[in-house]
């Protein structure tokens, strides 16, 4: 889970600075956090970014990282991402 947090914290500001905004990334994280969303549903949401079997496996593994967490941890991840989205770096997007 620590690796997921590092990647999340590193990728978000870069994505925001890309000029596309944070909405797509936020929706992806919300789908990952939500235990009601299946791996198949997540891959369907990300289908334009999944080009091969390795990418599909990475999406499955990423979702599994969240499925392995307790509801308390998922709530904390959701809180953390909302703090990031409201940060100075993302406020203009």
Minimum mean pLDDT range among 22-26, 47-51, 73-77: 22-26
> What total number of domains does the chain contain?
1
Whether the Cβ atoms of residue 12 and residue 84 lie closer than 8 Å to each other: yes
- Residue 46's domain comprises 2-85
Instruction: Give domain status of residue 92, yes or no.
Output: no
Q: Which two tokens stand for residue 32?
A: 């990952």
Instruction: Give domain status of residue 93, yes or no.
Output: no
Residue-wise pLDDT for 27-54, tens only, equals: 888 899 999 999 999 999 999 989 999 9
Instruction: Give domain status of residue 18, yes or no.
Output: yes
Instruction: Give domain status of residue 7, yes or no.
Output: yes
Instruction: Give domain status of residue 13, yes or no.
Output: yes
Instruction: Give domain status of residue 49, yes or no.
Output: yes
User: Of the candidates 24, 34, 32, 23, which has an alpha carbon nearest to the alpha carbon of residue 59?
Assistant: 32
């Amino acid at each position: 889970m620590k690796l997921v947090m590092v990647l999340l914290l590193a990728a978000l500001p870069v994505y925001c600075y890309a000029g596309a905004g944070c909405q797509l990334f936020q929706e992806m994280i919300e789908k990952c956090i939500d235990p009601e969303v299946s791996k198949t549903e997540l891959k369907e949401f990300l289908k334009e970014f999944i080009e091969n079997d390795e990418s599909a496996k990475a999406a499955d593994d990423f979702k599994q990282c969240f499925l392995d967490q307790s509801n308390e941890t998922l709530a904390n991840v959701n809180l953390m991402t909302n703090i990031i989205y409201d940060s100075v770096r993302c406020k203009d997007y």
